[in-house]
C-alpha cells in the first residue's frame, strides 16, 4: 500500500468534521474526573462496549482503588472481580497492574511526571507498557496528557472509508500519519474529532441512500458520494 495520502485529504476532511459537529454538537470527551480514571477507562474499554467499562470503573471507584496506588494495593483476584464486567477480565486486571507498576517504578508513582513527557517520548514509553497498544497510547496522550496525537480506531477507518476518503483496508498506522499531516496539531480539535467519529460510527448505517438523518449522506458512498480511489 502506498504511503501517499489520498489527493486533497485535508481539504476533504474539513466539511466532514463540520457536518459531524453541526449534527451531534460538542461531545465533551473523555468522560473522566481525573487522569487515572481516563487511563483506566482506556484500558477497560478495549474491544468492549463503554457501558461495560463504566461498570468496572464504578466498581474500582467504590473500592477506592481508582489510582496507581489503589490498583497496586489490590490482590490479583480482587482486581479481576472488580473489572469483570468489562470482559477479558484477567487480561484487563493485568493491564491495569502493568500500567500502575510502570508509573511506580519509572516515575515514583507520579502519573503527572509520565504525562508531562514530550509527545514522542511519551508515546514510545506508553507503547513499551504491556497492554498499551497504539490506540490506547494515543487516547492517553490526547485526553490525559492533552497533547495532539490523533486517535485512530476501528470507527475512524470505517467512517472515513464509508465516505470514500480512504480505502477500508488502510492500516490504522497510515491513517493516523495522514490525518496528523492534514490537520493542524491542536489537542482540543483532535479530541473533538475523534469523539465525533466514534459518535457517528456508533450510529446505525443502512448502507443505502435511505438514511436521511445521516449528516454525511451527501458525501457517503451509499448516498451517491464520490468514491475516492
Partner DNA sequence: GGCCAGGACACCA
Partner DNA sequence: TGGTGTCATGGC
Position among 45, 65, 68, 196 found at the interface with DNA (CB under 7 A) = 45
Nearest CB to DNA, comparing residues 3 and 213: 3
Chain positions 97 to 126 lying near DNA, rule: CB under 7 A, are none
* 78 part of the interface to DNA, by CB under 7 A: no
- Taking the least distance from each CB to DNA, the nearer of 1 and 77 is 1
Distances from the Cα of 22 to the Cαs of 8, 132, 215, in angstroms? Answer: 22, 33, 8
Q: For residue 162, give the C-alpha cell.
A: 464509508
* Helix, strand, coil shares, percent, the chain, to 5: 60, 0, 40
C-alpha cell at 73: 494495593
> Which of helix, strand or coil describes residue 186?
coil
Q: What angle do CA 113, 50, 77 make, to 5 degrees?
A: 70
Q: In whole angstroms, what is the distance from residue 171 CA to residue 99 CA?
A: 26
Tell me, by CB under 7 A, how many residues bind DNA: 44
Residues 178-217 that bind DNA (CB under 7 A): 198, 201-202
- Give yes or no for residue 146 binding DNA (CB under 7 A): no
| Interface with DNA, residue 134, by CB under 7 A | yes
Minimum distance of DNA from residue 199's CB (angstroms): 9
Interhelix angle 35-44/89-107, nearest 10 degrees: 140
Q: State which residue, 11 or 169, has the beta carbon closest to DNA.
A: 169
By CB under 7 A, tell whether 135 contacts DNA.
yes
Tell me which residues touch DNA (CB under 7 A).
1, 29-31, 41-42, 45-52, 55, 84-92, 129-137, 139, 143, 153-155, 169, 171, 173, 198, 201-202
Amino acid at each position: 500500500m502506498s504511503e501517499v495520502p489520498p489527493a486533497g485529504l485535508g481539504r476533504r476532511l474539513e466539511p466532514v468534521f463540520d457536518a459531524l459537529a453541526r449534527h451531534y454538537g460538542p461531545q465533551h470527551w473523555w468522560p473522566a474526573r481525573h487522569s487515572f480514571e481516563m487511563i483506566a477507562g482506556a484500558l477497560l474499554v478495549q474491544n468492549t462496549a463503554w457501558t461495560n467499562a463504566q461498570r468496572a470503573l464504578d466498581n474500582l471507584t467504590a473500592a477506592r482503588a481508582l489510582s496507581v496506588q489503589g490498583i497496586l494495593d489490590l490482590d490479583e483476584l480482587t482486581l479481576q472481580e472488580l473489572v469483570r464486567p468489562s470482559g477479558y477480565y484477567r487480561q484487563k486486571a493485568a493491564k491495569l497492574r502493568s500500567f500502575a507498576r510502570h508509573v511506580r517504578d519509572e516515575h515514583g508513582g507520579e502519573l503527572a511526571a509520565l504525562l508531562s513527557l514530550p509527545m514522542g517520548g511519551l508515546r514510545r514509553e506508553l507503547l513499551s507498557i504491556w497492554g498499551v497498544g497504539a490506540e490506547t497510547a494515543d487516547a492517553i496522550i490526547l485526553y490525559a496528557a492533552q497533547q495532539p496525537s490523533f486517535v485512530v480506531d476501528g470507527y475512524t477507518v470505517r467512517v472515513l472509508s464509508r465516505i470514500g476518503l480512504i480505502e477500508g483496508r488502510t492500516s490504522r498506522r497510515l491513517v493516523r500519519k495522514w490525518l496528523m499531516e492534514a490537520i493542524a496539531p491542536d489537542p482540543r480539535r483532535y479530541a473533538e474529532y475523534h469523539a465525533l467519529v466514534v459518535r457517528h460510527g456508533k450510529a446505525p448505517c443502512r448502507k443505502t441512500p435511505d438514511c436521511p438523518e445521516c449528516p454525511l449522506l451527501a458525501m457517503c458512498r451509499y448516498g451517491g458520494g464520490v468514491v475516492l480511489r
